[in-house]
């Protein structure tokens, strides 16, 4: 099973793809898509949607795992990120993918065993689990791979 993990955002969308086959997880690819900071939200959302749509067409994943929102102190940021999540979920649904959603707590717990783990602990475990020689950069891509791994752990 090929899993597409997404760390949604309006400025940066992290994505990561792993293969989950007979209990073995293998790193496939990852990256980060950025939108221009000075562009309008609707324009950014169109670009995000089109990028996710192209990712799905290129990599043909079996499922999509998306990070759920966590409480933001800045309401405008939370609303904008929710909009980015919405177009991400739409792209997955239109491609007829089953879409799963995981909270940051679930991701941290799945990878480290501790729901309040630090970001560097999660990144360390991603590298260890996937036997990577180098740390995944940027952080958004590493987070997306962690989200994909969380789904792989949940289906075992």
Binding positions for Mg(2+): 7, 67, 140
When computed from its CA atoms, the radius of gyration of the chain, rounded to whole angstroms, is: 15
3-class secondary-structure state, position 131: coil
* Residue list for the binding site: 7, 67, 140
Q: Of the residues 25, 80, 123, 140, which is catalytic?
A: 140
Owner of token pair 């475990």: 125
Q: Of the residues 25, 67, 80, 143, which is catalytic?
A: 67
DSSP letter for 68, please: P
DSSP letter for 34, please: E
Question: Any catalytic annotation for residue 140?
Answer: yes
Centre a 10 Å sphere on the Cβ of residue 83 and count the other Cβ atoms it contains.
Answer: 17
116 contacts: CB under 8 Å, gap ≥ 6: 105, 108
- Cα separation, 49 vs 4, whole angstroms: 15
- Cα separation, 96 vs 44, whole angstroms: 23
Catalytically active residues are 7, 67, 140
């Amino acid at each position: 099973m090929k899993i597409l993990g997404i760390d949604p955002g309006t400025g940066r969308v992290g994505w990561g793809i792993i293969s989950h086959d007979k209990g073995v997880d293998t790193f496939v690819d990852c990256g980060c898509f950025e939108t221009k900071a000075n562009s309008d939200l609707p324009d950014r959302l169109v670009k995000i949607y089109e990028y996710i749509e192209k990712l799905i067409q290129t990599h043909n994943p079996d499922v999509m795992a998306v990070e759920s929102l966590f409480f933001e102190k800045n309401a405008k940021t939370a609303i904008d990120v929710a909009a980015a999540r919405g177009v991400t979920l739409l792209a997955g649904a239109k491609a007829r993918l089953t879409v799963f959603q995981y909270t940051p707590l679930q991701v941290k717990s799945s990878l480290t065993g501790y729901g309040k783990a630090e970001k560097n602990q999660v990144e360390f475990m991603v590298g260890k689990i996937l036997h990577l020689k180098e740390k995944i950069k940027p952080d958004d891509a590493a987070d997306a791979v962690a989200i994909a791994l969380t789904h792989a752990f949940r289906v075992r």
